[in-house]
Amino acid sequence: MNTVATIVFISLFILITVLGFISAHWKKGDLTHLHEWGLGGRRFGGWITWFLIGGDLYTAYTFIAVPALVFGAGALGFFALPYTVLVYPLVFAILPRLWVVARKHNYITAADFVAGRYGSPALAFAIAMTGIVATMPYIALQLVGLQVVIGGLGFPANHGLLSDMPLIIAFVILAAFTYTSGLRAPASIAIVKDLLVYVTVIALIVIVPIKVGGFAHIFASIPHDKLLLPPVKDGNTGLMSFYATLAFGSALALMLYPHATTAVLAAKGPKTLRSNWVFLPAYSFVLGLIALLGYVAYSSGIATEPSLAPYFKQYGPQFAMPGLLLHYFPGWFVGVGFAAVAIGALVPAAIMSIAAANLFTRNIYKTYINPHCSVQKETHIAKLVSLIVKFGALLFIVYLPQHYAIQLQLLGGVLILQTFPAIVSGIYTRWFDPKALLLGWGVGLGWGVWAASLTGFKKTAYALHLGGMVIPAYIGLYALILNFAVAIVATVLIRSLGMANIRDATVPLDYEE
């Protein structure tokens, strides 16, 4: 057991626990209303939104998985960087309109918007369910990151429930402060989390490469076939087309995830959002540096150090970043870095569980189970569901092998992408028919799951054979193209039969800022 690191780690944890509970009083609002508990009253200004969206997108799993991918797979793992570069121009163009219409009609979720825009509870139900199903394994994945650093502190693994105790305690704390403070808790904790992350990453990226011999040396020690993507061969575009489509598809998927919608709708207004997206790429730069840590770890040879080898055996490439901290830094700083990862797990897990709870309450409970419930009852249900969602994720991680969570999260990305036509096209046009969108969603989903099953749900690439070429690309993107094609053809058919549903609770002026 690493005593100093553990003491620092626990102290920082106590700090954020206190912060989580007292944040209920911050920007005081009536927390029995869902837009107060679940969206922080839509009052978050520039700085808080920056931390909240950052805390949302750059998660503990990012800090563990991105260096692990680069450490294990080389250049392909670097896709996380173009992915985050693509996100901000896309959301800049698209999401402010969603904020404006959501504010006018008090929409809390993207499915609320779809229900209003298309007058179709069935389509809204499909969107809500997809969001919940895609979010669950994402929460579970945060726990994987937490598990790795708790293991790195020296808590014994493989002792059944006992070795899961630190994880369970961390989660009970998370559940409690989310229940009482709602979205205000992760928003305030995100500030502490980011300070810790920046300090840790800057220390790692400055100090370790100097000790290892500089970046020129590090890159020189990486085998050439790892350093670049393989060239096009025999008409097969190979990893290059996969790299680009994975980055693009992941960027589209990101803005559709319920937790992203939650953080966006919680902002004070479209101008706050837009100014944020000018500065959010600062995080992407940090992400790029984190990715390079994979090569730093590879080059330093820590995986074969006697003191660290058992951890690498247990956690695989996922131990690259924790391993660098343990090997090159004193105990107290290890505590800081590990706390950054652990708190980086709790912030998004809190936002995700709130987002899933908002979806369930608004688009399933209120639509189908209890349409006339009071605002207080609505909020009460959301708080309860946020607890259930988190404990579901906890049981998942404690009782099932880790790779299930990873595979389900990969599949979740494919699923959530299929909500793109309904949500994003709806922001601009009411041309599509809701039945056609539902059909497109179903076909895209079905094909996506089938294509993923071909690899045993291990990979997200599908090799399309087209005119003598082989084009492997991200399954989610192929499924989305199919989804759009079906929705367009079906809309034309439905309209020509005169069966189009033209209900729309919004008017064009609702989208004007």
Partner 1 sequence: MSNAVRKLRPIHMILLAIPCVAILVVPWFNTVEPRLFGFPFFYWWQLLWVPLSSVFIAIVYKMVTRPGGGD
Binding site for partner 1 (CB under 8 A): 45, 75, 78, 81-82, 84-86, 88-90, 92-93, 96, 214-220, 224, 227-229, 231-232, 240-241, 243-244, 247-248, 267-272, 274-275, 277-279, 281-282, 284-285, 288, 292, 513
Measured in degrees and rounded to the nearest 5, phi and psi for residue 311 equal: -65, -45
Which CB sits closer to partner 1, 248 or 257?
248
CB of 248 to partner 1, least distance (A): 6
- How many helices (H) and strands (E) in the chain? 24, 2
CB of 100 to partner 1, least distance (A): 9
Q: In whole angstroms, give the CA distance from residue 189 to residue 499.
A: 50
DSSP, residue by residue, 73-85? HGGGGGGHHHHHH
Which CB sits closer to partner 1, 162 or 278?
278
CB of 277 to partner 1, least distance (A): 6
Which CB sits closer to partner 1, 274 or 327?
274
- Owner of token pair 């949302």: 56
For 495-504, give one letter per residue: b (16+ CB within 10 A) or e: eeeeebeeee
For 325-346, give one letter per residue: b (16+ CB within 10 A) or e: bbbbbeeebbbbbbbbbbbbbb
Which CB sits closer to partner 1, 155 or 298?
298
Q: Which residues contact 127 (CB under 8 A, 6 or more apart)?
A: 110, 111, 114, 363, 419, 422, 423, 441
CB of 470 to partner 1, least distance (A): 15
Q: In whole angstroms, give the CA distance from residue 50 to residue 40.
A: 14
Which CB sits closer to partner 1, 96 or 322?
96
Which CB sits closer to partner 1, 282 or 454?
282
CB of 250 to partner 1, least distance (A): 12
CA dihedral (35, 38, 39, 43) positive or negative = positive
Which amino acid is it at 346? L
Which CB sits closer to partner 1, 142 or 237?
237
Q: In whole angstroms, give the CA distance from residue 409 to residue 405.
A: 6
Query: Contact 55/193 with Cβ under 8 angstroms?
Result: yes
CB of 58 to partner 1, least distance (A): 13
Q: In whole angstroms, give the CA distance from residue 425 to residue 421.
A: 5
Q: In whole angstroms, give the CA distance from residue 73 to residue 290.
A: 15
Q: In whole angstroms, give the CA distance from residue 95 to residue 430.
A: 17
CB of 187 to partner 1, least distance (A): 17
Which CB sits closer to partner 1, 237 or 361?
237
- Owner of token pair 């009970």: 172
DSSP 504: -
CB of 99 to partner 1, least distance (A): 10
Which CB sits closer to partner 1, 247 or 341?
247
DSSP 156: P
CB of 279 to partner 1, least distance (A): 7
